[in-house]
Amino acid sequence: MKKYIILFLVLPLLTFSQKMVSKEIMEVRKFQEELNAEYLNPEKTPLRGDNFTNFKEHPFFPFNRKYRVTAQFTKTKNPKPFEIPTSSGKTKNYREYGKATFELDGHSYTLTLYQSMDLLKQKKYKDYLFLPFRDVTNGKETYGGGKYMDLKIPKGNTIILDFNQSYQPFCAYNAYDYNCPIVPEENKLPVDIRAGVMYEDIYHH
């Protein structure tokens, strides 16, 4: 009888866990589909000429639950706007919104989240946060200039960072038409983040 009771208790937990994992995977698949659709759209894509014609889809690292982390979030008090250098030599105005501290493989890391002063002028971006970061994969499996993540202002003191939904700036594909914020020194991670978009020959993938 005890065996049946234990099974009864364990099975619902397994089902709940499977639902959670599938929800996370579905979110990543949606991100991937929307990113591919953006690059296939002539009005939105950064790709030009043959690069656009030959593009099929982005290569992505396989989904890895390890790179979806719950970070402790600390809002920055009285942030002042400052300029972030861009790839074209110009600057863009941002302000620090907060810091996210998380653990990966037993080590603690902190990344800074920003708000674009230009985007803040648009109502739909009022709760948008920008997270540029670099890691050890840059220049090998990912773009040398780093990657970006789009986030929303958290309601509490934690924030989910899903690196499986990280992408490369337009400058990775078209350095002539775009000027992309350079990742600040404070957001360089001394580890591999093998998640999100890869930097391969995407045009013939």
> Tens digits of per-residue pLDDT, 58-95?
999 999 999 999 999 999 999 999 999 999 889 999 99
Report the pLDDT value the prediction gives residue 48, as an integer from 0 to 100. 94
Residues in the chain with pLDDT values less than 50: 2-16, 202-205
Q: Is the dihedral of CA 97, 196, 122, 152 positive or negative?
A: negative
Count Cβ neighbours within 10 Å for each residue of 5-25 and write b for 16 or more, e otherwise: eeeeeeeeeeeeeeeeeeebe
Report the pLDDT value the prediction gives residue 187, as an integer from 0 to 100. 98
Under 8 Å CB-to-CB from 124, ≥6 apart: which residues?
Answer: none
Report the pLDDT value the prediction gives residue 195, as an integer from 0 to 100. 98
Report the pLDDT value the prediction gives residue 11, as an integer from 0 to 100. 44
- Residues 178-199: pLDDT tens digits? 999 999 999 999 999 999 999 8
Report the pLDDT value the prediction gives residue 205, as an integer from 0 to 100. 40
Would you tell me how many other CB atoms lie within 10 Å of the CB of residue 53?
Answer: 9
Phi, psi of 111 (to 5 degrees): -120, 150
> Which two tokens mark 185?
């020194």
Alpha-carbon gap, residue 202 to 36, rounded angstroms: 11
> Which two tokens mark 120?
């803040």
Alpha-carbon gap, residue 137 to 143, rounded angstroms: 8
Residue showing tokens 């889809």: 57
